[in-house]
Amino acid sequence: MTTEAHAGGCQCGAVRFRVTRLGRPSICHCRMCQKAFGGFFGPLVTAHNAIWTRGEPKWFQSSNAARRAFCGECGTPLAYETRFGLELAIGTFDDPKVAAPEIQVNLTDRQPFFGDLSGLPERHEVSDEWRDFMAGIHSNQHPDHDTTDWPPKEQS
């Protein structure tokens, strides 16, 4: 468990959080996490004292026992909450390495191909067309640090 201050937030910057007491980081394979994150698992870390520092998330009551927080502007999944407390989405931290997963849970719904993903072929060569495409991208994503105002004046 860490007691250092960590911040994070959604992709567009409308919702930000800060937390100093993190618990155990995990990846959850339950079907609800898969749907909520639009992926093969939900990466979550227990957040004992998280506060919302900009904006407020919207909440979806995903079951009789849990609700999930997301940004109402950009849709970023932010948190999961039960009577046991709040868990924050690891990928929403400004530095996700602070919560490297330590355990996998709810394995009954784990996708059968999950264990083989790291063995898939990797593409390292980049075509000129792709390089040009990437060079022309201007990100509107919030930076990985707290800002006084968001969006910047030129994006408002």
Q: Indicate the pTM of the whole model.
A: 0.89
Residue 117 has what pLDDT?
Answer: 93
Tell how strand 6-9 and strand 16-19 pair up.
antiparallel
- How far is Cα 62 from Cα 45, in angstroms, rounded to an integer? 18
Residue 143 CA: distances (Å) to CA of 14, 42, 47: 12, 22, 22
Q: Which domains does the chain have, with CATH numbers?
A: 1-110 (2.170.150.70)
Residue 2 has what pLDDT?
Answer: 56
Mean pLDDT in each 10-residue stretch from start to end of the chain (156 residues)? Answer: 84 96 96 96 97 97 96 97 97 97 96 94 91 89 86 64
